[in-house]
Structure 1
Amino acid sequence: MATLLYTVSKRGVRSMHHIYFRPPWPFVKKGNTGQRKIGPVRIEAHKFPGQNREFELLTPKWKKENDPRLHRYTGVQETGFVDEKTGKYVHVPEMVNELVVPDLTGFKLKPYVSYRTDVTIEARRTAYEAKVREKGSEAMADLHTSEEQRWPPPKMTPETLFELCYGEQVRKAYKKDEYSDEKTVGAKKSDKRKSES
């Protein structure tokens, strides 16, 4: 039983024992493929168009016998052609990629609104027009409709924005008498006394 166990020198002396010469890749069961195959794992994307000839048609740098049309292959669309008679490259300005965009000088850009909102806008507009016809004028219709039902909707003003964000909070604080002059003036006087002493 003792002969089946191998011993490795602990003195730090390098020997010809196989434990010192491990393979650069793990050996696994024979017949497996992919990551479990025997041999190094080669990620071909890292090699492209590498010297190992994984893609023979796309390695003209190392394989000169390839089709001459592939010698300058870069994966980018050409901006010209090779003249068959002279063998020279002819640049064609029309083959250069360009972005064709309209001239927007003087055009006021507006926020994008989905076409799906057209149905709700149309229903809201017709309902408001019916309310105007019923009451006789827009001023009377505005008195009897909420802001959500008016068309066109009222413009956002600083006062409206302040009312939406802080209006209720300010009213509650005012009812609790948090903004009275006596409190603020008294606080200022006490601050002056502290600074003087």
Structure 2
Amino acid sequence: MMELSMLSVFGKQFIRSISTSACACGKKNFKKFPLYNKRGTRNFKEQQAKHPHPDVPIHTYGVRPTGYKGATSFVMIDELVPELVVPDLTGFKLKPYVSYRVPDIVQPPLTPEELFGAVYVKKITEDFKSGKLGPDNQPLEPSPEERLTPEVAKAKALAIKSDIV
């Protein structure tokens, strides 16, 4: 770096000037400036394709390789190639998207009375009309839901709730 000195009243005074030489004196630190696949000149890319430099990594942008580098070439492994399984939608009645113009459906949570009415009332009324209730209004032919103990029914309801959420 070149410095200018000037003589002043108080003695010798140093003034900084602009320097055009690099502070590394010609050494280049390429680790600071990563050259990924898209960066660099065409000549650099051709050179990297033929003889890759060990200090310049080949950036894959997060994509997993579908094989491995052999002694002379890249070896493909068929099991590593992703396979997209798409269902056949011929004759499918629904549209592939839901329009934003569909009105929002706001439904309050079910109360215990509504849940009881949705699950048990129909069976109880059928048993009552056909005379299949016992002396304590217990069903003579209970359904699988009526045979459940309270603990098992609660555990089953919580399992269904966790599957929905």
Of structures 1 and 2, the larger Rg is shown by: 1
TM-score scaled by length of structure 1: 0.26
Higher helix share: 1
Higher strand share: 2
Q: Using CA pairs below 8 Å that are at least 6 residues apart, which structure has the higher relative contact order?
A: 2
